[in-house]
Amino acid sequence: MNATSGITRALALKEPYLNRWAMLACGTAAVLSAGLCAFGRVAFNVGAIGWLTAIIACGVMLAIYGVANERKEHSLQFVLSLPVSPRQYIRAKTIGMLLAFLPPWGAAMLAAVALVLLSPGVPDGMLPFVCVIGGFLLANFALVLCGALHARSEGLMVGVIIVTNMAVSIFMFVVGALPGIASHMTGPVPVWNDTVAGVLLAEAVVFVLALLLPQITAARRRDLL
């Protein structure tokens, strides 16, 4: 391993280390919120909101403190003084942010899946909808990260956060109303049909494109500051 690849790896690994307490807090909040959903209709609504909020907040905090503040507090100047190219910095930042987001997101998804499968008050037919919501939140984080890596102003970053947060509610209403999903949510068994597969595929495409775009555009900037 040469010095440049070692520095790139260190830059990626520093993200989950620096954000470990935020990761723990968000993951714990999501798991507890999922558990709350098992205690009746009102608790389900409150827990579902808490579950969504914990995951969304995790992604926003990582983007703000891991990317935007690095530029604002001028620590990016030090990073770019190291023997790494802008492309290597963008790649390290993307990998590092994913390493920080995936553990709490994964814990939240496992808790939600366990809730559906183990709680007698929640129909198993909800499982596909939970999965597409989880896929959307993952793709949504990738979009927030993509925006943070491109944005050079606080106003633009705030705009990205507002739009992506609003998209969560719109997505839930639109996808939850699709016949291929809505007609099976209260059923006794999960139904994995073409509608579910199509939504998951679209989310995967958005996720990949949002992560690749900064490697193509932002990484070509001569000045990342």
Task: Give the model confidence (pLDDT) of 156-201 as tens digits.
Answer: 888 888 998 899 999 999 999 999 999 999 898 999 999 999 999 9
Distance CA 19, CA 96 (A): 10
Binned at pLDDT 50, 70 and 90, residue 7 comes out as: confident
Mean pLDDT calculated for residue range 146-151? 84
Cα–Cα distances (Å) from 110 to 26, 28, 51, in that order, read 14, 12, 12
Q: Is 13 domain-assigned?
A: yes
pLDDT at 197: 96
Q: Is 141 domain-assigned?
A: yes
Between these two residues, 209 and 155, which has the higher pLDDT value?
Answer: 209
Q: Is 44 domain-assigned?
A: yes
Residue 58, both tokens: 């995790």
The proportion of the chain whose per-residue pLDDT surpasses 70, expressed as a percent, equals 87
Does 106 have pLDDT greater than 80?
Answer: yes
- Local structure of residue 188 (DSSP, 8 states): S
Q: Is 225 domain-assigned?
A: no
Please give the tally of structural domains in the chain.
1
Between these two residues, 8 and 125, which has the higher pLDDT value?
Answer: 125
Instruction: Find the domain containing 164 and state its range.
Output: 3-220
Start-to-end C-alpha separation, the chain: 28
pLDDT at 225: 47
pLDDT at 181: 93
Q: Is 110 domain-assigned?
A: yes
Residues contacting residue 97 through CB under 8 Å, at least 6 positions apart: 15, 62, 63, 66, 67, 145
Q: Which residues of 131-154 are buried (b: 16+ CB within 10 A; e: fewer)?
A: bbbbbbbbbbbbbbbbbbbbbeee
Q: 């010095």: which residue's tokens? A: 3
